[in-house]
């Protein structure tokens, strides 16, 4: 066939598949008792997760001996000396605001991967505005004429905004920044000359479509040139800041230091293995490096940086030794001391910095179970380090007492409902129990506690963890189909060891599992970087190994295993059924990246480098090269106006499967971007039910056998 005829053939096949599957979705499952039960229990999911053991709105009395909290819709107080729980002691101290439902104001206006179009000056009198590719300053009340700062902007050379890839991958929602005194304005200049356009069609259900072009730099292609300019209101002049480095380096996370005069800039190279935090003097243009971090794989782009009250010292998050931990540093570049204990576990988050008392509190995955967060503290000078929480459960929601003698924490696990307890900070022993969860509501619906399991990866040494949720009224004498719920991408959280016993798919007679595969966070840099330059290798291998491990149990039917996910999870689903056709029989792949050459520079090259540098990694991680392996049932789903994972990913896989004479299913949603609404969820559920149970459950019953 010539290319034109081949295109017509492919398009016709796709349309036929879309029409066929759309017709299937009108079958009785949408009105079935099975789907009704699924929706009912899904809507009640919160009842099964919230068991009464989680106290909220926790506040301490001024003397640190009484805890005020809300539980079960009631406000209460516990006196630690007697452990007596009484109605809320209103009016006794600062806890009067316990029931305050005030909401912090939120800034609106920037959509996904976009930047705000206005920035108001600190005194509230002026605002910088991005308009028609240029930037101007207006008075907020309209009393003064606008001042045009730039005039030569156009579609490919803009001021006061940024670009899609910075917004999506560096979370850059701002592009204009006022100095603390409001006398200077820093703003982006973005130059996209020479970059290729990607075209999306909109109004796809209308008689005539329209086309929009986006500059979306794909792996190995030309990036935008990003510069920073500063406008001085007194002189009325703008100048470009001279920031040395690679020509198209990444400059992001722009903000002012606490003094309001020093500009802070994160700078990383294209490989993203080197990070500098720069301080720029806007009066002189002088630049100095505050801190530098490097990694042999990739460096986290935006480590935590939290200033103390003096505006000079700051807490810094580092992974220099392969485990996230905290340092105290000075803005002049000095390392003052290490705060967290840099042993073989990663820190999770900063809980509290009390400069008056000199304490620094943080959570860390320091338990034998790597998904159990524990509370630690250390003096700000790096001495007196201790772990406070002592229970082998996952701890969150810490509230430190005012005298640092006690702390309230919520703890839980996959098989343990929430408990709110008080720990003695000195001994680490439990001092009191405020609330204990009751799992009877879930049990009354036939919901068994979820199970946390572990197994060895295919390297024979790495312990990988997962959770398993069981069908309603689980009977170990029966055999059940298994469904893997997957995302699994780098920098994503693989697992959390929290009480969440129910997955709505369990209503339909499925075992449901989720696996914290290599490449996910919370397990240290070696674990996270196991997929470096090899996306689609160790990550999907761990999913397959989990299935092999679970099918060793008599009640798991290894001949009926499905996998589903969206975005990176869509990639993993498609890759799973193609790479391991004897492990997975059914897959639903939502908005998949089918070949990493199709995805953006910043994300892809962070983990894969460029296709020019790592062609074998790109080839081996491509779904398209494995199309001939398909044996089972594959459903591919995509939004036709997806500006994140472009529809071309699905078209390429469809063509590869057709060229390999493989039958598959497809559903295209004409009006949706990367997130898909409509009947997407029902479509996924129905596909799994139809192909793993062999029935749509029209009578409301799903027979596990």
9-62: per-residue pLDDT in tens?
333 344 434 433 443 444 447 778 888 889 999 999 888 888 899 999 999 999
Q: pLDDT at position 143, please?
A: 87
Among candidate residues 272, 302, 332, the one where a domain is terminated: 302
Tokens of 583: 């492990």
Least confident range of 54-58, 340-344, 450-454: 340-344
**How far apart are the C-alpha atoms of 449 and 461, rounded to whole Å?**
29
Q: Is the pLDDT of residue 600 over 60?
A: yes
Query: Is 354 within 8 Å of 480 (Cβ atoms)?
Result: no
Q: pLDDT at position 28, please?
A: 47
Q: pLDDT at position 8, please?
A: 34
Q: Over range 56-83, report the average pLDDT.
A: 92
Residue 314 inside a domain? The answer is: no
Query: Is 469 within 8 Å of 502 (Cβ atoms)?
Result: yes
Same domain, yes or no, for 39 and 116? no
Q: Is the pLDDT of residue 233 over 90?
A: yes
Residue 700 inside a domain? The answer is: no
**pLDDT tens-place string over residues 137-172:** 999 998 889 999 999 999 999 999 999 999 999 999
**pLDDT tens-place string over residues 473-503:** 999 999 999 999 999 999 999 999 999 999 9
What radius of gyration do the chain's Cα atoms show?
28
User: Strand runs (DSSP E) across 89-222, as ranges?
Assistant: 118-120, 126-131, 134-139, 147-148, 157-159, 176-178, 184-191, 197-202, 210-215
Q: Is the pLDDT of residue 265 over 80?
A: yes
Query: Is 320 within 8 Å of 292 (Cβ atoms)?
Result: no
**How far apart are the C-alpha atoms of 325 and 340, rounded to whole Å?**
6
What is the arrangement of strands in the sheet containing 451-456, beginning at the earlier edge strand? 451-456, 463-469, 511-516, 480-485, 556-566, 586-590, 633-639, 665-669
How does residue 464 score in pLDDT terms, banded at 50, 70 and 90? very high
Residue 416 inside a domain? The answer is: no
How does residue 344 score in pLDDT terms, banded at 50, 70 and 90? confident
Residue 513 inside a domain? The answer is: yes
Q: What is the CATH number of the domain that holds 199?
A: 2.140.10.30
Count of the separate structural domains present in the chain: 2
Q: pLDDT at position 21, please?
A: 42
Same domain, yes or no, for 153 and 278? yes
What is the arrangement of strands in the sheet containing 74-79, beginning at the earlier edge strand? 56-60, 66-71, 74-79, 84-87
Q: Over range 277-301, report the average pLDDT.
A: 97
Q: pLDDT at position 13, please?
A: 40
Q: Over range 597-607, report the average pLDDT.
A: 98
Q: Is the pLDDT of residue 599 over 50?
A: yes
Q: Is the pLDDT of residue 466 over 50?
A: yes
Same domain, yes or no, for 40 and 114? no
Q: pLDDT at position 696, please?
A: 57
Q: Is the pLDDT of residue 590 over 80?
A: yes
Beta-bridged to residue 157, according to DSSP, are: 154, 191
**How far apart are the C-alpha atoms of 644 and 665, rounded to whole Å?**
22
**How far apart are the C-alpha atoms of 65 and 67, rounded to whole Å?**
7
Q: pLDDT at position 483, please?
A: 98
Q: pLDDT at position 702, please?
A: 53
Residues in the chain: 705
Q: pLDDT at position 343, please?
A: 82
Same domain, yes or no, for 34 and 144? no
A 10 A CB-CB count for 459 gives 13
Quick one: three-class SS letters along 462-504?
CEEEEEEECCCCCCCCCCEEEEEECCCCCCCECCCCCCCCCCH
Same domain, yes or no, for 28 and 124? no
How does residue 101 score in pLDDT terms, banded at 50, 70 and 90? very low
Alpha helix (H) residue ranges in 519-567: 525-528, 538-550
Query: Is 545 within 8 Å of 517 (Cβ atoms)?
Result: no
User: Where is pLDDT greater, at 225 or 144?
Assistant: 225
Q: Report the alpha-carbon angle 274-275-276, nearest 5.
A: 125
Q: pLDDT at position 25, please?
A: 41
3-state SS assignment for residue 143: coil
**How far apart are the C-alpha atoms of 399 and 402, rounded to whole Å?**
9
Residue 279 inside a domain? The answer is: yes
| List of residues 6+ apart from 157 with CB closer than 8 A | 133, 189, 190, 191, 192, 193
User: Where is pLDDT greater, at 28 or 381?
Assistant: 381
Q: Is the pLDDT of residue 626 over 70?
A: yes
Residue 55 inside a domain? The answer is: no
Q: Is the pLDDT of residue 631 over 90?
A: yes
415: left (phi over 0), alpha (psi -120 to 50) or beta: alpha
Same domain, yes or no, for 290 and 155? yes
Residue 89 inside a domain? The answer is: no
Q: pLDDT at position 144, please?
A: 87
Helix or strand run (H / E) with residue 87: strand 84-87
Same domain, yes or no, for 560 and 650? yes
Q: Is the pLDDT of residue 515 over 90?
A: yes
Residue 366 inside a domain? The answer is: no
Same domain, yes or no, for 30 and 167? no
Q: pLDDT at position 100, please?
A: 39
Q: Are strands 225-232 and 184-191 parallel, antiparallel or unpaired?
A: antiparallel
Q: Is the pLDDT of residue 703 over 70?
A: no
Q: Is the pLDDT of residue 313 over 70?
A: yes
Q: Is the pLDDT of residue 290 over 50?
A: yes
Q: pLDDT at position 109, please?
A: 53
Q: pLDDT at position 6, please?
A: 39
Mean pLDDT of the chain: 91
213-216: list long-range contacts, CB under 8 Å, 24+ apart.
214/164, 214/643, 215/156, 215/163, 215/164, 216/164, 216/165, 216/600, 216/643, 216/646
- Using CB atoms within 10 A of its CB, is residue 232 exposed (0-12), middle (13-18) or buried (19+)? middle
Q: pLDDT at position 2, please?
A: 42
Among candidate residues 271, 302, 333, the one where a domain is terminated: 302
Nearest to 67 by CA among 83, 79, 57: 79
Tokens of 94: 């600062």
Among candidate residues 302, 327, 352, the one where a domain is terminated: 302
Q: pLDDT at position 656, please?
A: 98
Phi and psi of 502, rounded to 5°?
A: -115, 135
Provide the residue range defining the domain that includes 555: 13-44+441-692
**pLDDT tens-place string over residues 107-137:** 545 788 899 999 999 999 999 999 999 999 9
Q: Over range 197-212, report the average pLDDT.
A: 94
Q: pLDDT at position 477, please?
A: 97
Query: Is 81 within 8 Å of 422 (Cβ atoms)?
Result: no
Q: Are strands 511-516 and 480-485 parallel, antiparallel or unpaired?
A: parallel
Least confident range of 5-14, 186-195, 202-211, 488-497: 5-14
Q: The tokens 């590719």 sit on which residue?
A: 133
Q: Report the alpha-carbon angle 502-46-390, nearest 5.
A: 75
Task: Say what the pTM is.
Answer: 0.92
Q: Over range 230-243, report the average pLDDT.
A: 96
Percent of the chain with pLDDT over 70: 92
Nearest to 57 by CA among 436, 420, 498: 420
Q: Is the pLDDT of residue 539 over 90?
A: yes
Nearest to 77 by CA among 104, 100, 96: 96
A 10 A CB-CB count for 102 gives 6
Q: What is the CATH number of the domain that holds 455?
A: 3.40.50.1820
Q: Which CA distances in Å does 261 have to 39, 179, 264, 512, 656?
A: 55, 6, 10, 53, 56
How does residue 97 score in pLDDT terms, banded at 50, 70 and 90? very low
Q: Over range 613-630, report the average pLDDT.
A: 98
Query: Is 68 within 8 Å of 77 (Cβ atoms)?
Result: yes
Same domain, yes or no, for 197 and 294? yes
Same domain, yes or no, for 550 and 655? yes
| List of residues 6+ apart from 578 with CB closer than 8 A | 623, 626, 627, 629, 630
């Amino acid at each position: 066939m010539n290319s034109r005829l081949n295109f017509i053939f492919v398009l016709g096949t796709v349309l036929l598949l879309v029409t066929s599957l759309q017709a299937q979705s009108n079958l009785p499952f949408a009105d079935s008792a099975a789907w009704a039960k699924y929706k009912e229990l899904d809507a009640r999911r919160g009842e099964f997760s919230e068991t009464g053991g989680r106290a909220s709105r926790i506040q301490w009395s001024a003397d640190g001996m009484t805890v005020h909290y809300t539980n079960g819709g009631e406000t209460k107080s516990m006196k630690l000396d007697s452990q007596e729980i009484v109605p809320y002691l209103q009016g006794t101290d600062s806890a009067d605001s316990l029931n305050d439902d005030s909401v912090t104001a939120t800034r609106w206006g920037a959509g996904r991967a976009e930047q705000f179009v206005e920035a108001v000056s600190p005194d509230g009198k002026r605002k910088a505005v991005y308009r028609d590719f240029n930037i101007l300053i207006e008075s907020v009340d309209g009393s003064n004429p606008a001042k045009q700062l730039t005039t030569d902007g156009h579609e490919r050379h803009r001021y006061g905004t940024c670009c899609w890839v910075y917004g999506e991958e560096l979370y850059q929602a701002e592009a204009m920044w006022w100095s603390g005194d409001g006398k200077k304005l820093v703003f982006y200049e973005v130059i996209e000359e020479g970059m290729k356009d990607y075209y999306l069609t909109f109004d796809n259900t209308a008689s005539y479509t329209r086309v929009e072009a986006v500059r979306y730099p794909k792996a190995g292609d030309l990036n935008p040139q990003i510069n920073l300019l500063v406008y001085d209101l007194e002189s009325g002049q703008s100048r470009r800041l001279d920031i040395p480095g690679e020509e198209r380096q990444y400059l992001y996370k722009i903000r002012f230091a606490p003094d309001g005069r020093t500009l802070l800039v994160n700078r990383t190279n294209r490989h993203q293995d080197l990070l500098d935090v720069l301080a720029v003097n806007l009066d002189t243009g002088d630049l100095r490096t505050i801190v530098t971090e490097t990694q042999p794989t990739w460096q986290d782009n935006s480590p935590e940086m939290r200033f103390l009250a003096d505006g000079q010292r700051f807490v810094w998050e580092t992974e220099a030794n392969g485990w996230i931990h905290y340092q105290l540093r000075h803005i002049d570049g000095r390392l003052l001391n290490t705060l967290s204990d840099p042993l073989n576990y990663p820190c999770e988050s900063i809980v509290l910095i009390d400069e008056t008392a000199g304490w620094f509190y943080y959570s860390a995955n320091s338990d034998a179970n790597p998904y159990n967060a524990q509370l630690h503290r250390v003096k700000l000078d790096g001495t007196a380090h201790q772990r406070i929480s002592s229970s082998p459960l996952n701890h969150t929601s810490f509230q430190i007492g005012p005298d640092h003698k006690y702390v309230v924490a919520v703890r839980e696990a996959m098989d343990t409902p929430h408990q709110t307890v008080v720990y003695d900070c000195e001994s680490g022993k439990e001092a009191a129990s405020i609330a204990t969860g009751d799992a009877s509501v879930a049990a009354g619906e036939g919901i068994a506690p979820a199970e946390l399991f572990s197994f060895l990866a295919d390297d024979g040494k790495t312990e990988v963890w997962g959770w398993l949720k069981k069908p309603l009224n689980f009977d170990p004498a029966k055999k059940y189909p298994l469904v893997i719920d997957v995302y699994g991408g780098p920098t994503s959280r693989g697992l959390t060891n929290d009480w969440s016993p129910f997955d709505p798919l369990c209503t339909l007679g499925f075992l449901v599992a989720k696996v914290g595969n290599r490449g996910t966070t919370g397990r240290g840099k070696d674990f996270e970087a196991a997929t470096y330059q090899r996306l689609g290798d160790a990550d999907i291998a761990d999913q397959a190994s989990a299935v092999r491990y679970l099918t060793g149990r008599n009640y798991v039917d290894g001949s009926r295993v499905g996998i589903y996910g969206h975005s990176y999870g869509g990639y993993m689903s498609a890759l799973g059924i193609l790479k391991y056709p004897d492990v997975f029989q059914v897959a639903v792949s939502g908005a998949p990246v089918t070949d990493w050459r199709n995805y953006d520079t910043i994300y892809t090259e962070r983990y894969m480098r460029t296709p020019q540098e790592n062609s074998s990694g790109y080839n081996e991680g491509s779904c398209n090269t494995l199309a001939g392996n398909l044996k089972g049932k594959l459903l591919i789903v995509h939004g036709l106006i997806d500006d994140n994972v472009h529809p071309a990913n699905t078209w390429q896989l469809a063509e590869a499967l057709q060229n390999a004479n493989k039958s598959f299913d497809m559903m295209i949603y004409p009006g949706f971007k990367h997130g898909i609404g409509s009947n997407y969820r029902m479509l996924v559920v129905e596909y799994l039910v139809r192909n793993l149970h062999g029935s749509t459950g029209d009578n409301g019953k799903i027979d596990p056998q």
